[in-house]
Structure 1
Amino acid sequence: MSTPTRPIDARSWIFEVQDLEAETETWLPIAGLNTFTMNPGENEEVAETTAFESEGAYEEDVMQRGASIALAGQYRVNKATGEQDPGQAYIDNTWTNRLGIDSHNPVRWRHKSQTSWVVWDATVSPGEQGGGNNDKTSWAATIRRNGWPTTAPVTP
């Protein structure tokens, strides 16, 4: 008898950005998230290979793979200090100001039930922030993978 499968909770995903300015390896959790969208086909490129012998059927080869993650939620601050959440602040104030090769930064994520992280060398585009009269201020960023993903074990 097989064990039934169940869906996993979206709220149990963990996203972190590496602080490249820290003296030791430091990963900053990104707080305040209430939605994410992983797009494994972002920046995919194909070459059409249709020829006469294709008999009218389209054919292609994938020439490039890409992926992105759009993160969105609420702008978070520490109640006592007023400082922005460290993960959000690193993305907003450090990472998004870099250009060229310096625009790359590691990110990682996993579901709390998983024993390894997915790790990307990535670039980021800041998202919109705003809100209305009775809203909390929004926060967002889109992270795009560069190269192939790697994995790392979850350590305590």
Structure 2
Amino acid sequence: MPTPTTPVRPIDARGWQFEVQDLSASTETWLRIGLLTSFSHNPGENEETEDTTSFDSDGYFEQDVMQRGASISLASKYAADKAGKRDLGQAYIDDVWTYRLGVDSRNPVRWRHRTQPTWVVWDATVSPGEQGGGTTEKTSWSATITRCGKPSTAAVTPPPAGGGS
């Protein structure tokens, strides 16, 4: 007799977590990117292929993938408290990472759904997005993170006492 299984169900988009590593910290510190309203993961971004179709293909298209890429676009509300202290993840991206150039333009990021036991870790670059809003709106915030190189994974560990994640 077959064993009953739990039905597979869709997961909530709000359960995704995104963090950026603060490379200026003296110890490994990950900063949560807060108040997200949406994200878009494009696992085919910057993919390059080579057409390998030949007379031997009998009229059918053929190709080889020569380069893999990926990006994540994040959208949020520009976040600050009453004293003007910014969301730590947004502030790091806007005030530190965005201004770095060349080999210094790369920074680790990680992301996962809260139900997953591992982080996906990327070495990445960032492109800041537009900020704005109308008279009856909150200010928007966005950024696009582009993977550089092969992704890795890391186990989820409890945050250290006193902060981090």
TM bucket normalised to smaller: over 0.9
Of 11, 18, 22, 1:15 maps to 18
Matches within 5 A, 1:105-144: 105-144=107-146
1:5 aligns with 2:16: no
| SS in structure 1 at match of 2:97 | helix
Residue 2 of structure 1, CA deviation: 2.4
TM-score (norm 2): 0.92
Q: Return the letter of the residue paired with 2:50.
A: A
Of 60, 63, 81, 1:57 maps to 60
| SS in structure 2 at match of 1:135 | coil
Residue 3 of structure 1, CA deviation: 1.7
1:38 corresponds to? 41
Structure 1 consecutive aligned stretches of length 4 or more whose deviation exceeds 2 Å: none
2:150 corresponds to? 148
Deviation string for 1:45-65 (max 9, x for gaps)?
000000011122111000000
- Unaligned stretches of 5+ in structure 1? none
Distance 1:56 1:72 in 2: 44
Distance 2:26 2:134 in 1: 40
How many residues were matched structurally?
155
Considering only aligned residues, what root-mean-square deviation do their CA atoms show, in Å?
A: 0.7
Q: What percentage of residue pairs aligned between the two structures are identical?
A: 67
1:28 aligns with 2:31: yes
Matches within 5 A, 1:90-109: 90-109=92-111
Distance 1:143 1:111 in 2: 17
Distance 2:100 2:26 in 1: 19
| SS in structure 2 at match of 1:90 | helix
